Structure 1
Amino acid sequence: MNFSVSGNNNGQIVGKDAYYSTKTSKTEVTDEILKSQGGGKKYGFDSGLLVKMSVQQQMGGTIPELKQNITNANVKIGALTSLSSTMNTFLYNTVDKLSDPSFLGGFDAKISDEQAASATLSEGSNITKATQYSLNVTQVASAQTLTTGEYDPSQHIGKGSMEFSLGSYDSAGKFADNWQGGGGLIKLNDTDTVSSLADKINDANMGITATVITTPSNKQRLAIYSNETGADHAINIKTTKDSLLPGNNIDSFNYNGTNTATFTQKVGANNSKFTINGIDFEYTSNDIKDVMGLDLKITGKTTTPATISVFQDTNTLIQNVQYFVNNFNSFMDVTSFLDNSSPGEKFQGSLHDSKVIKELKQSLSDIDFKLAQNGSQLRDIGIKIDDKGYLSFNRNDLVKMLNHNPNIVSDVLLNNNHSTTHAISIKEIGNTKRGGYYTQNGKYDVEITQKAAPAKLNTGSIKYPVTINAANSTIKMTINGIKIDIKMQEGKTYDADQFALEISNQINRNDKIKAKDETESVIVKSQADGSLELTSSKNGSKYSFEVDENNKSLGFTTTITKNRGKDFEGKINGVLALGDGDTLSSMFDKSTKGLVLNINSNVQIGKQETITIQRGYLTSIKDSMSYMINNDKGVVKVAIKDYEKSLDKNSLDSLVSKLDAAQDKSDKLTKQYWGKYSHVESALSRSGSIQDMLNVLYFPDKKDK
């Protein structure tokens, strides 16, 4: 059989004799000598044959056994890679797809006016029977859009700066910044046009997009719009003129909520407004999650109330369960093929009775057993497992069960985790490194003893307007452990809101702070007494403010201690948990270890709530299989790495290196025996007996008597 270090024999395991030629012993070499002598006649001696037989006698089965092991290692790497790919495909095309509750919840929603909205059931919805809702949409959420009049392409705007902010206007037209990090300042020189202004707006990444529209008369109009919908993302523009030269009209680009000679509002910054069964709702977005058990996407106003019908789609549900069974059995076909007791081509039987197959089968068996312990089984949805691990599905059994529990399929296949309060939700469930679980299924008490809070710093009061000079132009602070210098523009005068916005922009655009936490920002608000209030946008003790040097003319006094935020504190299953901002993690309780909860500010201090953990069949399969193929300690990944290591030509312990060494030894023995046998015929011709011939071959140092 031909051998190659990278060959896999077309995916077929090779036997122990695959690379052996005729086995040779010392007796066989002696017999060959006697045979060649023809009973004492001195002719017919085959030196080449004797060299080959002598080398084989010395080397034994070392080389053929190494070749066998190398070929089989290549075969098993191919088989394991095939198994890993099949498991990934099953997880992606089946488990992940069906883990979407809309596939297995058994209920669907349909709306009579598809131009107004679409509706689906929310994840974790407690809807358990067919029902109807009345929906009336009075306003669709929109992003504010402003357009200018026409400009010549080469027309200059003027030198200065434009300060953009995002926020809301009250009924009196007063603007309030939303302090969410949007907006910013851009500089214009005396050569900027509408087109270059649009580029600068887009490059500034302010949550605002600009577009240049070319008219039929080859003029240009500027359109700007907020990137987000909602009344709290309205645009405000303040300009500062840096030149009094004629033609500097940059101040005409001011915008404060009402149409000007430059800007006309085409679309307002609006929230979506609607009622469900007469109850009023208002959101900044058109994508609304979990409203009375529904997820809505608002697309238009209703002229008459639309009807949302929630119904159980039994046929589709049954089809999806059958889809799972069929794909699971297809996966088992591949496993059975690799575990076949009769090896064949294309990796058939190449993993027979291996640790990988044993662990996979045991894992699937354990999943079903643990599911039964939690009070639900695959048989509850009409699925049975045979002794080979294959599934069978009885549709009639499922239909009967659905009459008693419309959510039975999702109860068995999906996670059934819930909390007695919306203020506490489950973020993560602890899994062990071996694909098992730290967090056990069950019901656990949760008690919150302290609410989380953001870091906060209040400065001293100052009088406005305030002018920046060389003595007060730098504010030195440490924010979230990062030292920064806030550099104010010398000679510039600020009112209270401008001063707050300038500090906010410099902090939130600081590269070091952004690198540490891209989503964290600092909210800076001016207070009625002339002070500033700095607040972290997130809760937690890892956020903090310190003033490093006095700058009392701007209200900043050196702090003695850090102004830190607070983490949620509380107990899970009666054991103290670790708080990190808005999360609470169990680390010291054996039953709930690894459990992470999200807590919101509406939680009641000291009130005992209950959370329920129940993993479904799909989650358990995904956790187990993902560990096997992706974790460095997973059985499939470990096996592949071990076989690859055994074939690493750079490792002295590898099969390949041992084969090279054995072949080198064989070559040296061949050379040695050729030298030994090169004069054998002349020696034999002088031999007086068979004993003399053997002495020539095996006892060359023995003196002739």
Structure 2
Amino acid sequence: MAEVTAADSPTAQIMKTLGAGSGINITELAQNLTDVDKAPRQEKIDAAVAATEAKISAYGLISYQVSLLQSAFEALNDADELATNTASSNDPAVSLNSVDGTSEAGSHIIEVTQLALEQRVKSAEYSTSTTSLNSGSAFDIAFAVGATSTTSSTVTVEVDTPEGVVSAINDADMGITASLIDTGIAGANYRIVLSGATGSEGAFSVSSTPDLGFATPANSLQSAQDASLEFNGLAVTRSSNEVSDLITGATLTLNAVTSSAARLTVSSDKSTLKTGIENVVTVYNDFRDIMDTFVKAPQEDVEFSGALQRDLAVARHVMEQVRTSLFDDSSTASGDITGLRDIGVSVDQKGRLTFDEDDYDSAIADDYDDVVMMLTANTSDQNLYGTAAKGLAQDIATTLESLTDSDSLLATREASAEVALEDYQEQLEELELRMAAVYDRYLGQFATMESMVERLNGTREYLEGQLESLSKAYDN
């Protein structure tokens, strides 16, 4: 609401226009008296508004800093992401792919003597894709899959055409795929080609009436076989050319038979973990500095200083929760590594975190696996809601999440402060209304006074006139 001023009053304008009365500027006097009444009340409300706005800002900044700290720990909660591993091969016949953080640095020798292959067979020749194969009647195809352990299945072909055979086999989803190939040879354009899974156990046999030609020896295109290789001097066979169980955290792709032994090298860069720990220290210290600003006595030119001096319970609660979580033992302590204190993180006399690189480097060199277990429980892709042990990083992140969620003490206090701020705004509006009434009352009283003074002035002027007339009469 706009502030009431002397110039706004119709009575004041009339008094000014007439120039009558005592000669006192009653509009200014009324405004001054109103301001005297209003000032201490408005100052009190304005101070409450400023303090409440500062608290709201403080709560918001605390939530933001806690969220930053939560993110810093979530960056440390996956074992695969604590180290960046790279891989190389000196022979294109073997690729080393999909290397994650669990791979150990080292070199490996591999020699591939045979690739894994799938069985492929073709059918008899057909002139069209819709040639009738069984005089329009449905028929069954029997399959036996496996070399040492056989699985039998039957596929019913409802539409007795090459297209119908392909659709029926693929719809059965039994690990054998069918395709219809147009060879481009006039009069014998179409062949059905069946393919199984790679590896010797993907071998299959086919029989049917009518005979589709799959069992004819001349129609065999390729036999199923396992990959054969020598890995670090050990003879190995695998059913696939994608091998993921020889090097931890890495997948080998066998592209061709090697002409000589190939060397595979895994290199590990653990700087990601160190950078993450340093970031935790930095973010926590920023959080600590902000909290100190909020709880200490207000300082000139320091924004929000002392904002929570009247709400120290909240500040102390948040600080205690954060500090305790940082120095709790891990739920998955391993060996001599139980918490952050064992990897170079400590607290100085001012309550700030410090990071000792020598202690950290020593722990990583001697107990890297224990450090990973302590932080991550040796797991990846973690979340807040799992029930299994998560490691210290996710334990802390979960605690920090609870400090900023919608039911937290911070959120509750911020909501209460927002309500209080609305109440103070209403009080200011009510004060303006009351002061407008006070101003009108003063102005009305002064207008009455002016009227009385004017009448007295009139009487005085009349008496002065009469006395002057009498004086002139006596003089004559």
Q: TM-score, normalised by structure 1?
A: 0.43
Match of 2:393 in 1: 621
Match for 1:44: what amino acid? I
Aligned to 2:76: 95
CA distance in 1, matches of 2:137, 2:306: 77
Name the SS of the counterpart of 2:353 in structure 1. Answer: coil
Q: What residue in structure 2 maps to residue 410 of structure 1?
A: 369
Amino acid at match of 2:397: M
1:321/1:101 CA distance change after superposition, 3 Å = closer
Counterpart selection for 2:254 from 299, 306, 311 = 299
For 1:203 and 1:346, the matched residues in 2 are separated by 70
Q: Contact 2:333/2:373 (CA < 8 Å) preserved in 1?
A: no
- Structure 1: which amino acid aligns with 2:430? K
| Counterpart selection for 1:77 from 45, 60, 83 | 60
1:363 equivalent in structure 2: 325
Shift of 1:81: 3.3
SS at match of 1:361: helix
Deviations 1:201-244 (A, max 9, x none): 77776666666767789977766656x6544555677879xxxx
Q: Name the structure 2 match of 1:641.
A: 411
Counterpart of 2:147 (choices 170, 187, 199) is 170
- Call closer, same or farther: CA 1:291–1:668 in 2, change over 3 Å: same
Matches of residues 665-676 of structure 1 in structure 2 within 5 Å?
665-666=430-431, 668-670=433-435, 672-673=437-438, 676=441
Change (3 A) 1:208 1:187: same
Say which structure is richer in helix. Answer: 2
Q: Is the 8 A contact 1:147 1:221 kept in 2?
A: yes
Matches within 5 A, 1:545-564: none
When the two structures are aligned, how many residues end up with a matched partner?
413
SS at 2:327 equivalent: helix
CA distance in 1, matches of 2:65, 2:51: 21
Q: Which stretch of the first structure deviates more once superposed, 150-159 or 676-685?
A: 150-159
**Are 1:385 and 2:385 an aligned pair?**
no
Helix, strand or coil: the match of 2:328? helix
Is it true that 1:115 corresponds to 2:75 in the alignment? no
Q: CA deviation at 1:375?
A: 5.4
Structure with bigger RCO (C-alpha 8 Å, 6+ apart): 2
| Pairing 1:185-224 to 2, within 5 Å after superposition | 189=159, 194=163
- Cα deviation, 1:644-694, whole Å, max 9, x if unaligned, reads 64477xxxxx34653564355346535644664562323444789xxxxxx
User: CA–CA distance in 1 between the matches of 2:252 and 2:342?
Assistant: 35
Structure 1 residues 351 and 412: alpha-carbon distance in aligned structure 2, compared to 1, 3 A threshold: farther
In structure 2, what is the equivalent of residue 466 of structure 1?
none
* Counterpart residue type for residue 385 of structure 1: S
Q: Distance in 1 between matches of 2:127 and 2:436?
A: 92
Match of 1:682 among 439, 447, 466: 447
Contact 2:76 2:376 in 1 (8 A): no
Alignment of 1:191-590 (within 5 A): 194=163, 225=195, 229-233=198-202, 258=215, 269-276=224-231, 279-291=234-246, 297-300=252-255, 302-303=257-258, 306=261, 316-317=269-270, 319-320=271-272, 322-332=274-284, 334-336=286-288, 338-339=290-291, 341=293, 354=315, 355-367=317-329, 374=336, 383=344, 385=346, 387=348, 388-394=352-358, 398=361, 407-415=366-374
Identity of aligned residues (%): 15
> What CA distance in whole angstroms lies between the structure 2 residues aligned with 1:351 and 1:627?
22
Contact 1:79 1:347 in 2 (8 A): no
What root-mean-square deviation, in Å, do the aligned CA atoms of Structure 1 and Structure 2 show? 5.9
- Post-superposition offset of 1:389: 0.5
Is the Cα–Cα contact under 8 Å of residues 121 and 220 in structure 2 kept in the other structure?
Answer: yes
Return the letter of the residue paired with 1:621.
A
Q: Contact 1:111/1:307 (CA < 8 Å) preserved in 2?
A: yes
User: For the Cα contact (< 8 Å) 1:79–1:351, is it kept in 2?
Assistant: no
Structure 2 Cα separation of the partners of residues 265 and 348 of structure 1: 84
**Partner-residue secondary structure (3-state), 1:385:** strand
1:111 CA displacement:
6.0
Per the TM alignment, residue 364 of structure 1 is displaced from its structure 2 partner at its CA by 2.0
C-alpha contact (below 8 Å) 1:67/1:659 kept by paired residues:
no
Contact 1:343 1:350 in 2 (8 A): no
Structure 2 Cα separation of the partners of residues 377 and 329 of structure 1: 14
Please state whether the residue corresponding to 1:679 is helix, strand or coil.
helix
Compared CA separation, residues 91 and 432, structure 1 to 2 (3 A): closer
- The answer for unaligned runs of 5 or more in structure 2 is 4-21, 294-298, 454-476
Q: CA deviation at 1:85?
A: 4.5
In the TM superposition, residue 50 of structure 1 has moved relative to its aligned partner by 4.8
SS at match of 2:26: coil
Q: Provide, for residues 54-73 of structure 1, a one-character-per-residue CA deviation record: whole Å limited to 9, x for no partner.
A: 45666773465246524642
Q: Is the 8 A contact 2:95 2:254 kept in 1?
A: yes
Structure 1, unaligned stretches of length 5 or more?
1-20, 22-39, 178-182, 241-250, 419-425, 436-593, 597-614, 649-653, 689-705
Residues 207 and 416 of structure 1: CA distance in aligned 2, closer, same or farther (over 3 Å):
farther
Deviation at 1:391, TM superposition (A): 1.5
Could you list the per-position Cα deviations for residues 454-492 of structure 1 after superposition, in whole angstroms to 9, with x for gaps in the alignment?
xxxxxxxxxxxxxxxxxxxxxxxxxxxxxxxxxxxxxxx
Q: Any conservation in 2 of the 1:147–1:223 contact (CA below 8 Å)?
A: yes
Is the 1:111–1:118 contact (alpha carbons within 8 Å) kept by the matching residues of 2? yes
Distance between the aligned counterparts of 2:198 and 2:49, measured in 1? 68
1:42, 1:337 → 2: CA distance? 58
2:137 and 2:156 map into 1 onto residues whose CA distance is 9
Checking the alignment, whether the CA contact within 8 Å between 2:376 and 2:394 is kept in structure 1 is: no
- Say which structure is richer in strand: 1
Q: Could you say if the C-alpha distance between residues 239 and 340 of structure 1 is closer, same or farther in structure 2, counting changes exceeding 3 Å? A: farther
Aligned residue identity for 1:73: I
* Native 8 Å contact 2:68 2:283 kept in 1: no
2:258 & 2:50 partners in 1: Cα distance?
80
Residues 58 and 307 of structure 2 are in contact (CA less than 8 Å); yes or no, is this contact kept in structure 1?
yes
Q: TM-score, normalised by structure 2?
A: 0.59
Cα displacement (A) at 1:367: 4.8
CA distance in 1, matches of 2:308, 2:193: 65
Q: Tell me how far apart the structure 1 counterparts of residues 291 and 437 of structure 2 sit (CA, whole Å).
A: 46
The alpha-carbon deviation at position 75 of structure 1 amounts to 5.8
Does the 8 Å contact 1:55/1:670 carry over to 2? yes
Deviation by residue 1:626-657 (Cα, 9 ceiling, x = unmatched): 4412xxx3456625633664477xxxxx3465
Contact preservation (8 Å) 1:198, 1:211: yes
Say which one has the larger Rg.
2
Q: Is the 8 A contact 2:242 2:252 kept in 1?
A: yes
